[in-house]
Structure 1
Amino acid sequence: MFLTDQLTIMRIISYNVNGIRAAIKKGFIDWLQSDPGDIICLQETKAEKSNIDCSVLNEMGYHDYWFSAQKKGYSGVAVFTKIKPDNVVYGTGHQVSDEEGRVIQLDFGDVRLINAYFPSGTSGEVRQGFKYAWLDEFFDYVNELKKKHQKLIICGDYNIAHKEIDIHDPKGNKNSSGFLPEERAWMDKLLSHGFHDTFRIVHPNEAHRYSWWSQRFPSVRLNNKGWRIDYITVTDALKNKVEDAEIYPDVKHSDHCPVYLKLKV
């Protein structure tokens, strides 16, 4: 339980499930029953709450909150949490982003958790342009938000591999969306404005640690030719509260895998 008057552990999972209905068919619910975290933040749900039998989640002790795209079978975020939030905010007020169901926010005491599905630019110049605009809007939004919420967590699929250590073939992907100089510079900017990559706090120099693998060729994941594009970042006020951070590549309900953060707050 979350108690504001004493130190409490929060175990947070961020996971792009690439369609929650498909993930369920691959054993997602069984994995949830193993108790991987207190707060499960999902991206790319591609579903509405009515599409899922949530009673099994509730029986496991999870409260569930959904923010789905207006377009059916597209995008969307959800949070399943055993810690009941004090407040839930759907979206950021940016119309196109909210229509695509990209951000949901929850307050736990004085901690604000943002679950975000960043846009991909892989489909062409139009969406790459949208991605850049979204990144700029989101940076301004969270930079302003942390003035009010000093204890801020941003988890999700950022769709950016930050450094060469975060991608299996940096030279071959130097012109690929997700590893473009402008995208990597945006990550630099975020991490120079009071945010911290929690995985790198715990594992500063570990290579070959990825959270996404292309589905085009089955051997890609088998040979660990991946990208680390899923992050949980925290503000200065939470940096020293990080107890553990991990990536779980052996959990396979999606082309992504879960990333994990343990916080003492």
Structure 2
Amino acid sequence: MSITVTTSNLNGIRAAKRKGVLSWAEERTPDVWCMQEVRAPQEEIDPIFDSIGEGYAKAGKVGEQSQLERMDEVCRIKGRAGVGLLSALPVTDKRYGLMDLKDDVDSGRWIEADVTTPSGMELTIASVYVHAGNTDDPNKMHQKFRFLDRMLERMAELREIADGGGRQALLCGDMNIAHTPLDIKNAKANEKHSGFLPEERVYVDKWLDDYGFVDVMRNLAGDVQGPYTWWSQRGRAFDNNVGWRIDYQLATKGLAEKAVSFDIDRAPSYDTRWSDHAPLSVVYDI
């Protein structure tokens, strides 16, 4: 028995709807779908989530009497961030926000759901959107590093729960950091740019080496260039596959051991994309 977990930065859920995300959802129907950069008010998110649920029902993923579990948090700064999570699996608890971060700019960036798999395994799944940062704006870099520091605190708690025989954990999202030169097409040219700074990349080292999480996609793909999950809208980055791998699924070891395959659903052409990110899906044999 297996489950599929997808993470995808939507680059705006309303724009993604116009560009075909509903058809994608009905075709793919991941068991858990983590979304970032939803960037819409609640009154516009709800009907789109309703439509996605109808697609799941049509595809037979959820029954007529059961509904797709949903949660989301809208950023308090209009048009910014926003994260969501949809689950065809039972959800037993929901949590909003990261540790003690209460500033408006930190809202709509971290939500957690406790889910139960068909085999009875208990998981905590988080949808995460890390600040992009900007090397020309020290305040934005401060916001990013502050968020990353709180992530480490929460990851330590989640790992302790997993190591103690409790729920395994899975962090899914746009982390806005490419880890190594394998994760970015033009590494040398970006060493001083946000997203590939040495002081950002050390956090990924900590996630993997100090906090015991596994970069599931890289673990499955091995030491190959890419595959990438984001391409700039500028120039011909997508057509020439000049990309970055900044979308992750980070799992505690007990869950990572059950990952059997991954897929980056890169659109066949620039004009068929519904986001500048491609969805990252992982199958876990649970």
TM-score after normalising by structure 2: 0.85
Partner of 1:23: 16
Separation (CA, whole Å) in 2 of partners of 1:97 and 1:120: 15
| Distance apart, 1:246 and its partner CA | 2.2
1:78 is aligned to: 84
Q: Is the 8 A contact 2:77 2:104 kept in 1?
A: no
Is residue 50 of structure 2 the alignment partner of residue 55 of structure 1?
yes
Tell whether the 8 Å contact from 1:106 to 1:113 is kept in structure 2 after alignment: yes
Supply the distance in 2 between the matched residues of 1:202 and 1:37 (Cα, whole angstroms): 19
Q: Which amino acid aligns with 2:142?
A: G
Instruction: Indicate the residue corresponding to 1:5 in structure 2.
Output: none
SS at match of 1:21: helix
Identity across matched positions, percent: 32
Higher deviation after alignment, 12-21 or 36-45: 36-45
Aligned to 1:205: 223
Inter-CA distance 97–248: structure 2 relative to 1 (3 Å threshold): farther
* Preserved contact between residue 220 and residue 262 of structure 2 (Cα < 8 Å): yes
| CA distance in structure 1 between the partners assigned to 2:85 and 2:74 by the alignment | 11
Q: Cα–Cα, structure 1 residues 99 and 129, in superposed 2: closer, same or farther, change >3 Å?
A: closer
Between 201-210 and 245-254, report the one with greater CA deviation: 245-254
User: Aligned match of 2:190 in 153, 164, 173?
Assistant: 173
Paired residue for 1:146?
159
In 2, distance between residues paired with 1:206 and 1:178? 20
Cα deviation for residue 36 of structure 1 reads 4.4
| 1:113 match | 125
Query: Secondary structure, in 3 states, of the residue corresponding to 1:10?
Result: strand
Using the TM superposition, give the Cα deviation of residue 66 of structure 1 relative to its aligned residue in structure 2, in angstroms.
1.1
> Is this contact kept in 2: 1:42–1:78, CA < 8 A?
yes
5+ long unaligned stretches in structure 2: 57-61, 63-67, 117-121
| 1:65 alignment partner AA | M
What are the within-5 Å matches in structure 2 for residues 26-45 of structure 1?
A: 26-45=19-38
Shift of 1:84: 2.4
State the superposition RMSD in angstroms: 1.6
Higher mean displacement: 249-258 or 157-166? 249-258
Post-superposition offset of 1:98: 7.8
2:200 partner amino acid:
E
Secondary structure of the equivalent of 1:24? Answer: helix
TM-score (norm 1): 0.92
The residue that corresponds to 2:250 in the other structure is: 233
Hey, what does 2:283 align to over in structure 1? Answer: 262
Alignment partners' CA distance in 2, 1:84 and 1:29: 22
Moved >6 Å (runs of 4+): none
Deviation at 1:63, TM superposition (A): 2.4
Q: Which residue type is aligned with residue 116 of structure 1?
A: V
C-alpha deviations, 1:39-63, integer Å up to 9, x for none? 1110000013311313222222432
Q: Whole-Å Cα distance in 2 between the matches of residues 238 and 18 of structure 1? A: 28
Change (3 A) 1:97 1:141: farther
Describe the superposition over 1:219-253 as per-residue Cα deviations: whole angstroms up to 9, x where unpaired.
11100001000000101111211111222222721
- Equivalent pair of 1:97/1:134 in contact (CA under 8 Å): no
Q: 1:126 aligns with which of 131, 139, 153?
A: 139
The size of the alignment, in residue pairs, is 257
Question: Could you tell me how far apart the structure 1 residues matched to 2:124 and 2:24 are?
Answer: 26
Q: Distance in 1 between matches of 2:104 and 2:50?
A: 29
Report the Cα offset of residue 153 of structure 1: 0.3
Superposed CA offset, 1:126-159 (max 9, x none)? 1111111111111112112321244110110000
Any conservation in 1 of the 2:76–2:104 contact (CA below 8 Å)? no
